[in-house]
Amino acid sequence: MRTFAERLTAAYIPEPNSGCWLFTKSLDTAGYGHIWRAPRLVGAHRASYELARGPIPEGLVLHHVCGERR
């Protein structure tokens, strides 16, 4: 069974013009990528941040630099 990090890494492709990472799996109704991390679905952008940098500080708002929700 793959780890959460492996599943997340396998769920995006780089967009060659902007460098954005485009999520290729499930999207929520607003168009944001989400992925299962027990015990619930989490935003792919939040999960990516946490894997790279650690817990998201209280009150921090994450923005998609390229403006692409997925």
Condensed to tens digits (0 to 9), the pLDDT of residues 10-34 reads 999 998 888 888 999 999 999 999 9
Q: Which residue has the tokens 């607003």?
A: 30
Average pLDDT, the chain: 91
Q: How many Cβ atoms are within 10 Å of 33's Cβ, its own excluded?
A: 25
Task: Indicate if the pLDDT at residue 67 is higher than 90.
Answer: no
DSSP state of 11: T
Q: What is the pLDDT of residue 19?
A: 81
Structure tokens at 58: 């209280």
Residue 63 — pLDDT band, cuts 50, 70, 90?
A: confident
